[in-house]
Chain A
Amino acid sequence: MTDKNLLSLLTGEVVEECKPLTLVELCQICDSSVEQITEIVEEGIVDPQGADSDSWLFHGVSVGRIRFVLRMERDLGVNTAGSALVIELLEELAFVRTQLGEK
């Protein structure tokens, strides 16, 4: 197993570009509950298509955002509204850093 030549090449799919995810699929991928995701939607952190939660369809980028919110809650005790603010500030910071040519 340690020889590189013996390893087969694994091909995955890019989550952000895959087909839209249902609420159930998203719960499974993010290891979260329907209630948690509903709260995150209500805070405007992810924006599913569809009128009600039964027909919600989520873009792949939702996975990263939801997992971020869950980590903030678990590791730092930040609530959902706080996470929404952190996400906006980090995105702004990343943008400013790019403009400055930093990494």
Chain B
Amino acid sequence: MEYKDYYKIMGVERDATQDQIKRAYRKLARKYHPDISKASDAEERFKEVGEAYAVLKDPEKRTAYDQLGQNWKGGEDFRPPPNWDQGFEYSGGDAEQFSDFFESVFGGTSSRGYEGQAQREFHMRGEDSHAKIVIDLEDAYKGASRTITLKKTVLGADGRPYLKEHKLNVRIPKGIRQGQHIRLAGQGGVGMGKGEAGDLYLKIEFRSHALYRVEGGDVYLDLPVAPWEAALGAKVKVPTPAGVIEMTVPENSSAGRKLRLKGRGIPGKEAGDFYVVIQIALPPADSDAAKAAYHEMEKVLAFNPRAHLEG
């Protein structure tokens, strides 16, 4: 198991005051909060910082952690010294799932609060659980199924909860959009006594796509066209998540012009639209013939692109 250097994670000295630790935590929590940060490892960092703070903010736990000694380095293989934690008692239940390192030093966090409940009749609905699922835009067009692996708290034979890996095969309905949630009834946490299980909520995220941008139900594609296609009009082949289609670029299209293909966005009761945004690509003037063609255009067209800038 890896030793965790909570001071390093928080970016504070080992002799930092409780106030300094609190300020460092506030800053890092804002920086790495998964709702705010776009960094791919934000969730991991946020949890790590939360775990470090859970230890360092609590003088009892901090003292115990300091007892382990200063010679450990983050990531080093760690084994707690025997009986090192005698005389410490920890109170308060943190519901989050912390690292193995935390569990070995401070004991399990998830088992608290359940003790003694076996004696009397107790029924409670299980907690709803939440997870994220990343899909491709194409999945939203066609529908798909995904197998996901979740860690779920279940009650063992001794009545204590423990974490168990749990696989689910889930249907992704056609027409689902970024940020929407799929609710799976009864797939959340187990109930206590005769309480029914909670529900599982899966939040949908689209993997970023090399070609398309998504805004709600609408999908955007930048389409490069040659200057003569933009000027004279053209029939071009355009990729869409539902397959290649042929469309007409109207004559005299300028760069940035948006062409709407109604109802070709993400399907649904109110299907989104597909937008093609015209980008004019210039052919390189890398040969005498090409240069001659540009000179010819210059002569024939007498075009001043900056006419509107002149007084």
Find out whether the CB atom of B208 lies under 8 angstroms from the CB atom of A14.
no
Residues of A within 8 A of B215 (CB): 95, 98
| B147, B199, B214: the one within 8 Å of A7 (CB) | B147
A50 at the interface (CB under 8 A from B): no
Complex Cα gap A68–B201 (Å): 14
| B171, B200, B220: the one within 8 Å of A11 (CB) | B171
Chain B min CB distance to A53 (Å): 22
| B169, B183, B208: the one within 8 Å of A15 (CB) | B183
Complex Cα gap A31–B239 (Å): 43
Chain B min CB distance to A6 (Å): 9
Chain B min CB distance to A99 (Å): 9
Chain B min CB distance to A86 (Å): 8
Question: Which residues of chain B (185-227) have a CB below 8 Å from chain A?
Answer: 185, 187, 199-203, 208, 213-215, 220, 222
Complex Cα gap A2–B269 (Å): 36
Complex Cα gap A9–B167 (Å): 11
B168 at the interface (CB under 8 A from A): yes
A63 at the interface (CB under 8 A from B): yes
Complex Cα gap A75–B214 (Å): 29
Find out whether the CB atom of A16 lies under 8 angstroms from the CB atom of B35.
no
Find out whether the CB atom of B202 lies under 8 angstroms from the CB atom of A12.
yes
- Between A and B, how many residue pairs show CB distances below 8 Å? 87
Q: Chain A interface: which size bin?
A: 20 to 34
Chain B min CB distance to A45 (Å): 14
A85 at the interface (CB under 8 A from B): no
Q: Which of B180, B222, B269 has the largest count of A CB atoms less than 10 A from its CB? A: B180
Q: Chain B interface: which size bin?
A: 35 or more
Find out whether the CB atom of B36 lies under 8 angstroms from the CB atom of A90.
yes
> Which chain B residue lies CB-closest to A1?
B167
Q: Mark A1-38, 1 if CB is under 8 A from B, else 0.
A: 11010011111111111100000000001010000000
B292 at the interface (CB under 8 A from A): no
Complex Cα gap A90–B130 (Å): 21
> Which chain A residue lies CB-closest to B130?
A67
B280 at the interface (CB under 8 A from A): no
Given the known inter-chain contacts A14-B181, A63-B181, A101-B222, please indicate yes or no for A9 contacting B202, CB distance below 8 A: no
Complex Cα gap A29–B129 (Å): 10
- Residues of B bordering A, CB below 8 Å: 26, 29-30, 33, 35-36, 46, 127-128, 130, 145, 147, 167-171, 173, 176-177, 179-185, 187, 199-203, 208, 213-215, 220, 222, 268-269
9 inter-chain pairs at a CB distance below 8 angstroms, sorted by A residue, are A4-B167, A7-B147, A10-B170, A10-B184, A13-B183, A15-B181, A16-B180, A98-B214, A98-B215
Closest 9 pairs (CB-CB, A-B)? A103-B208, A7-B169, A12-B182, A15-B181, A12-B184, A11-B171, A16-B180, A98-B215, A12-B183
